[in-house]
Amino acid sequence: MTPSRNADRPRIDAHEKVLGRALYAADQPFPGLLHAMTVPATIAKGQILSIDTAAAVAVPGVVRVFTHGDFAQIRTTPAARGAYGQPGKGYQPMIGPQVRHRGEPVALVVAETLEAAVEGAEAVTVRYAEEPFSAEMDDSLATPEPEPVSQQASGDAEAAFANAAHIVDVEYRHPQQHHNPIELISTTAAFEDGTLRIYEGTQSAAAFAGGLAGMMGMEPQALRGVSPYTGGGFGQKNGVQEQSVLVASAALLLRRPVKLVMPRGQLFHTASYRPHSRHRVRLAADGDGRLLAGIYETVQQNSRYDGFASDHGANPPRLYGYGAWLGRERIVRVDTQTPGHQRAPHEHPASYATECAIDELAGALGMDPVALRLANDTQRDPLTGKPFSSRHLAACLTRGAALFGWDRWTSEPGALVAANGDRIGLGVACGSYKAAMTPSVTTLRLSANGQCRIATSGHEMGQGLRSVIAAELIEVLGVDPGKLDIRIGDTGHAPQHLTAGSWGAGSAAPAARAAALKLREELAQLTGAALTDEPVHAQLARTRRPFLEVSVDTLPLGKDRQAIEQLRRGMPVVTGPEYPDFLAFSWIAHFAEVHVEPSTRRVRVRRVVSVADCGRVMNRRTAESQVRGGVVWGIGAALRETAESDPRFGGVLNNDLAEYVVPVNADIGAIDVDFIDEPDNRLNISGVKGLGEVAMVGAAAAIVNAVHHATGKRIRHLPIRIEDLL
């Protein structure tokens, strides 16, 4: 059965979403629900000397005020916030008197109503002994790690520079950014059917079963993580949050359901974020524009205690056929909450720096930047020498150039002028993102009445995972989309993987397809003949069975059965981008047209054209949306988003959506999306590579390059603001 291409269907859960019926974590109704509110630390580092809760307890409706004295039994395990699975790392607030970053919870007020909880939280008084701290990587008290945390090398890059005709040596700075999904991070803990259920909008429901159980000293089966709908994740909801175990423990101690919706101002100080980073890029080329070598060194800001890696160097050396490469990533530790994965966590900042540097090289060479990229295309990974499973980046560039009208591009900046006097700039940049996969456990049940139920691993956070699963079931079984019941994001239905790193579709699509194919096989055995074109449930009905159920474990390429056991224990098992025989990436080319108003220097992104090679497109409609979303994130990164760290007191000054500026509707012009849509069947049976993150990679660089083309100004920090262009 050959997978279909370019299927275009309504998002499978759009109907319940437009009706307002999709239930997110904080929407779950519980009789006798208590409301909680956290009290954030007002110092950046130090010790709690005393907490006066008397006034809070006296607030009518307040049931209990918890402090660190109540939670000393909670353990910091590799599941804790910031540990990223590493023993000895991570930090759980409120289990001792220490304060390690501004805004961490120091008390939890639980009350009969939200209003009482908020008033109670404001009535708590905390005395601290403050300690010196560093709020930012450029502070004198910041601590650089002595050794690089990762390195890449191929050939003799230093030597190649000696023979180069053209050299670029530039430093780009990327600011701290915050995910800000519109769903506030919330935790609701409630006893149901003898288990403690944790409702939290998450990309990792398993973290709320196995992970929390470990932190609370409970058996994993005593907890169930439930997150059928997540209101945007973008990496910020990829594990246990600082408040999760506190709310779960409060529910356990009070024997009543407890809900905490953390205010956004606090989330800027408790949830993860993309850390500030510096990128020095050196490129060497010969007279024809052939890339002889690249040397790429980055420094990233981390917290004192996290296990968050730096991985800026993983993608840039694979984008072009570099003759030699040297990459080094370093980190600097400061007194903040842990940073983390934010959409294309390292790939976006790395592509911003390196794809802008490529543009600078094209300028130095006097070459068309599209032509420079095409001249350095490669079908082999320069670092390992292995081939790519599939790479249609050149086709992305040529098709994108045609759709965009790249022939308008001029080598001189500022040459294109709109009728109203705006300076027009055209920019291009490419991106890549690893095609990763993770195991899945799937149960598929077809009923003779046409109902079809699937329970599998994965979370829906808006990327369209339900629609991807539906696409395979519709295609293989011909089931009615209206009769599909897709159960994901719930450890009560199937073991759950951490859904991140763009491995959702590449794992869930093959799982759904394998289950559907197995069901067809078993149905054919039952009917005793090859299946006909008639709907499968009608063929099942003739066998006089009410339903047929199959279970399938799917393994990613290169993994054995042990991976399923790890999945069942809630441990992340991820493969890619390097597989035994090849490397696998999704690829993209972005073209951006900006208009710069000549007197105010206001920058508008009028049009973006993006062409992606993500393997097979599972649903054209939702895939286009995903790419547009990535481009909107690129526009936000290029022109809007930055956290303003406060060096005096720690924390983020612009900790709300009025001052941490994200793109709004009026910021967005046309975004035209196209796909190569060539299935990558070396990778998995669905031919899928992943799309959510590659969509963003390179988008900001295309805009920055376009701003240079419009103004002649090369801005090497983000976001680009009016004052940079005056």
Residues 301 and 136: beta-carbon distance below 8 Å: yes
The beta strands (E) that lie in 54-144 are given as 62-66, 98-99, 105-111, 125-130, 143-144
Strands 125-130 and 46-52: antiparallel
Distance, CA of 653 to CA of 247 (rounded, Å)? 27
**Rule CB under 8 A: is residue 29 a binding residue for other proteins?**
yes
**What is the footprint of other proteins within residues 161-180 (CB under 8 A)?**
179-180
Question: Is the preceding peptide bond at 181 cis, omega within 30 degrees of 0?
Answer: no
Segment near other proteins (CB under 8 A); pick from 401-409, 448-456, 462-470, 645-653: 462-470
Residue count at the site for other proteins (CB under 8 A)?
71
Task: Report the candidate in 589, 598, 577 with the shortest Cα–Cα distance to residue 673.
Answer: 589
Q: Give yes or no for residue 27 binding other proteins (CB under 8 A).
A: yes
Residue 182 or 402: which CB sits closer to other proteins? Answer: 182
Q: Which residues, 6+ apart, have CB-to-CB distance to 402 below 8 Å?
A: none
Retrieve residue 518's tokens: 């197995």
Residues 583-612 that bind other proteins (CB under 8 A): none
Q: Tell which one of 42, 47, 57, 112 touches other proteins (CB under 8 A).
A: 112
Separation of alpha carbons 566 and 579, rounded Å: 19
Task: Map the footprint of other proteins across residues 261-300, applying CB under 8 A.
Answer: 261, 263-264
23 binds other proteins (CB under 8 A): yes
First-to-final CA distance of the chain: 59
Distance CA 52, CA 238 (A): 34
Residue 513's φ and ψ, nearest 5 degrees, are -65, -45
CB of 121 to other proteins, least distance (A): 13
Q: Which is nearer to other proteins, 175 or 214 (CB)?
A: 175
Pick the closer one to other proteins by CB: 92 or 243. Answer: 243
114 binds other proteins (CB under 8 A): yes
Under rule CB under 8 A, residue 7 binds other proteins: no
Q: Per CB under 8 A, which region of 242-250, 331-339, 457-465, 469-477 contacts other proteins?
A: 457-465
Tell the smallest beta-carbon distance from residue 460 to other proteins (Å). Answer: 8
Phi-psi group of 344: left, alpha or beta (phi > 0 → left; psi -120 to 50 → alpha; rest → beta): left
**Segment near other proteins (CB under 8 A), from 49-57, 114-122, 583-591, 595-603?**
114-122
Angle between helices 620-639 and 347-365 (to 10 degrees): 70
The DSSP-derived string for 5-73 is: -S-----TTHHHHHTT----GGG---TT-EEEEEEE-SSSSEEEEEEE-HHHHTSTTEEEEE-GGG-TT
Q: Which amino acid is at 98?
A: Q
Residues of span 30-59 touching other proteins by CB under 8 A: 31, 35, 59
- Report the Cα 247 to chain-centroid distance in Å: 25
For residues 37 and 555, which CB has a smaller minimum distance to other proteins in the complex? Answer: 37
Chosen residue from 4, 61, 170, 386 binding other proteins by CB under 8 A: 61
Residues in CB range of 121: below 8 A, 6 or more apart: 37, 38, 39, 56, 107, 109
- Least distance (Å) between residue 643 CB and other proteins: 16
Measured from the CB atom, the residue of 257 and 495 that comes closer to other proteins is: 257
Strand partners, 431: 588
Q: How far is the CB of 717 from other proteins (least distance, A)?
A: 23
Q: Binder to other proteins among 65, 550, 612, 632 (CB under 8 A)?
A: 632
Helix 465-477 × helix 504-527 angle, to 10°: 20
Residue 462 binds other proteins, judged by CB under 8 A: yes
Q: How far is the CB of 350 from other proteins (least distance, A)?
A: 21
Is 618 near other proteins (CB under 8 A)? no
- In the complex, least distance from residue 631 CB atom to other proteins, rounded to whole angstroms: 7
632, containing H or E segment: helix 620-639
**What residues numbered 188-247 form the site for other proteins, per CB under 8 A?**
229-234
Min dist CB 412 to other proteins, Å, is: 31
Cβ at position 668, least distance to other proteins in Å: 4
Pull the structure tokens for residue 334.
């400061």
**Applying CB under 8 A, does 14 fall inside the site for other proteins?**
yes
Options 79-87, 115-123, 493-501, 548-556: segment touching other proteins (CB under 8 A) = 115-123
Which residues ranging from 92 to 111 are in contact with other proteins (CB under 8 A)?
111
Rounded to a whole number of angstroms, the minimum distance from the CB of residue 182 to other proteins is 4
- Closer residue to other proteins in complex, CB, 14/375: 14
Residue among 397, 612, 631, 703 that touches other proteins (CB under 8 A): 631
Candidates 4, 5, 7, 11; binder of other proteins (CB under 8 A) is 11
Per-residue interface string for the shown chain with other proteins, residues 117-156, x marking contact by CB under 8 A: -xx-------------------------------------
- 27 or 145: CB nearest other proteins: 27
Closer to other proteins by Cβ: residue 183 or 360: 183
Phi, psi of 93 (to 5 degrees): -65, 165
Least distance to other proteins, CB of residue 227, Å: 12
CB 56 within 8 A of CB 125: no
Task: Write down the least CB distance from residue 431 to other proteins, Å.
Answer: 16
Which lies closer to other proteins via its Cβ, residue 253 or residue 662?
Answer: 662
- Token look-up 């592509």 returns 351
Which burial class, exposed, middle or buried, applies to 580 when counting CB atoms under 10 A from its CB (0-12, 13-18, 19+)?
A: exposed
> Which one-letter DSSP state was computed for residue 221?
G
Per-residue interface string for the shown chain with other proteins, residues 653-682, x marking contact by CB under 8 A: ---xxx---xxxxxxx-xx-----------
- 182 lies in the site for other proteins, by CB under 8 A: yes
| Positions 677 through 716 that interact with other proteins (CB under 8 A) | none
Closest distance to other proteins from the beta carbon of 231 (Å): 3
Site for other proteins in 405-424 (CB under 8 A): none
Which string of x and - marks every residue 464-503 that binds other proteins (by CB under 8 A)? x---------------------------------------
Other CB atoms within 10 A of residue 181 CB: 20
Q: Is 29 left (phi over 0), alpha (psi -120 to 50) or beta?
A: beta
Considering the rule CB under 8 A, would residue 21 count as an interface residue with other proteins? yes
Query: How far is residue 207's CA from residue 194's CA, in Å, rounded to a whole number?
Result: 19
Instruction: Give the type of residue at 449.
Output: N
- By beta-carbon proximity to other proteins, the closer residue of 234 and 587 is 234
Query: Quick check: 684 and 622 in contact, CB under 8 A?
Result: no
| Smallest distance, other proteins to C-beta of residue 625, A | 5
User: Residue 625 is encoded by which pair of tokens?
Assistant: 């949306």
Which amino acid is located at 577 in the chain?
P
Tell the smallest beta-carbon distance from residue 300 to other proteins (Å): 24
Q: Which residues pair with 166 in a beta bridge?
A: 285
Nearer to other proteins, 311 or 641 (CB): 641
Are residues 370 and 377 in contact, defined by beta-carbon separation less than 8 angstroms? no
Task: Identify whether the C-beta of residue 93 lies closer than 8 Å to the C-beta of residue 82.
Answer: no
